[in-house]
Structure 1
Amino acid sequence: MTIDAHCHVIAVDRDRYPRNPLGGVESAWSQQRPVGAKELIADMDEAGIDRAIVVQASTAYGHDNSYVADSVEQYPDRFAGVFSVDMLAPDAPEQLAHWVSRGLQGARLFTTGSTMPGQASWLSDARLHPAWEWAEENNLPLCLQMRPEGIPALRELLDRFPGVKVLLDHAARPDLTGGAPYDEARELFDLAQYDGVYLKLTERTLVSSTKAPADPESFLGRLLLDFGAERLMWGSNYPAAEDDLPTLYERSREVLGFLPAAAREQIFTGTADRLYPVWAGS
């Protein structure tokens, strides 16, 4: 079984699912290559991917998670869902509870992206604490779209809420331009000391790791050594990534092909299955 731990769905129907992107600017990819839930299923079937974690498209829908929730409800045997809320809002815990009641299994904090460059400073805002406390008490995984500049603020949150499982989208976009020993990514490797930190290896991370002077085996091998395969997972980032899903999946398997079979099984299946055990017993 293969699980895509990071993909998106975009509805063609803008009346039922109006766009309301964070920052007020809709991402180019969501306008140019929208892929709906039914189409994503077909693409998964073509690629040989069994299940997917559908992550809220923040640059299309902001905090309105209706389409993700409806997609998971329609295809519960194929999708789990990750939603987004305003984590600074006074009622953030109630918002988290609402979307969990809709059948979604994780939440996302969007602090940077193609339409919101740089690293947002609100990750260090104390108003986040009630939402993080709720996530810790309710075992709700939190994935973060962030840059390395946000790691100090993240560490403060991890120290305060050690029980929260944190998934870093695109492995927090590390800077690999200097090559081995990847001194620019030192803060990312330091996060391995926190047992609750997991990394998503998406097209963005895997492609950058293969560009000179970075060595894919030394960088990805170090991730395996420091974090362990049990805290790494693969995600296509489709359709934000430009290629079709079969190509993204095949290329990722090629890049990670040097890893032991047991490690690949964790990255492509086991880690996501443990974090989002929605399909247990199916």
Structure 2
Amino acid sequence: MMIIDSQVHAYEENTENRPWDTIPEWPEQVTGDRMVKAMDSLDIKGAILVSPFSLYGYDASYAVEVRAKYPKRFGLVKPVDPMDPQVGEVISAWKLTPGAVGVRLMMTRAPVSPRQWMGSDNPNFDLVCRAASRNDLPVNLLCWDNLEAAFELIDRHPETRFIIDHLGVL
């Protein structure tokens, strides 16, 4: 049986070249090389590599680098900024990235930026859903403590495929 891990995060240590946005209580680094070694030890053939928002925000460049090194092992998911007026274009450009398989919307109860509110009535969330659907990309939702708002958004967009990640954290 082929095993695919549905969500992993790979990241380098916190450096000036690639600084972290926050300093979580995580291992110092989980590089792409270490991830592949761990996957091999468990006979995991592939994984969906989700760029870790807590560390890199909307910058998925490290995930793209890892996927370029291991193109047969990873699909890529990029967090997108719903408050970016160009979010539709960002999603269209992401679709052209080798290995891109989805976008991620941060929909936790607390805003991830002062400009963003997390209710399902945020019209920018609708823009993300429509752009993702047009580009045939599912939307990963991180929505702990805000599941009801996520369900409202999902109900409004039957044409969009959704994945609710970290559901066990609820």
Alignment partner, residue 93 of structure 2: 98
Alignment partner, residue 81 of structure 1: 76
Length-normalised TM-score, structure 1: 0.53
1:27 CA displacement: 1.6
1:35 CA displacement: 0.9
Question: Which of 154, 161, 166 in structure 2 is aligned with 1:165?
Answer: 161
SS at match of 1:28: coil
Q: 2: distance between equivalents of 1:38 and 1:167?
A: 26
More relative contact order, 1 or 2 (CA 8 Å, 6+ apart): 1
Q: 1:123 to 1:66 in 2, by over 3 A?
A: farther
1:154 CA displacement: 2.0
Q: Give runs of aligned pairs for residues 185-204 of structure 1, distance below 5 A.
A: none
**Partner amino acid, structure 2, of 1:10:** Y
Alignment partner, residue 52 of structure 1: 47
Alignment partner, residue 5 of structure 2: 4
Structure 2: 5+ residue runs without aligned partners? 112-116
In percent, how many aligned pairs have the same letter? 28
Length-normalised TM-score, structure 2: 0.85
Q: 1: distance between equivalents of 2:86 and 2:119?
A: 17
Q: 1: distance between equivalents of 2:131 and 2:42?
A: 37
Corresponding position: 1:111 with 2:107: yes
**Partner amino acid, structure 2, of 1:66:** S
1:172 CA displacement: 6.0
Cα distance per residue 1:91-138 (max 9 Å; x no partner): 1111112222222211111233xxxxx544424211222221111122
SS at match of 2:146: helix
Contact 2:143 2:150 in 1 (8 A): no
Matched residues, number: 162
SS at match of 2:84: coil
SS at match of 1:4: strand
Structure 1: 5+ residue runs without aligned partners? 113-117, 175-282
Give 1 or 2 for the bigger CA radius of gyration.
1
Once superposed, which parts of structure 1, at least 4 consecutive aligned residues long, lie more than 6 Å away?
none
SS at match of 2:44: coil
Alignment partner, residue 143 of structure 2: 146
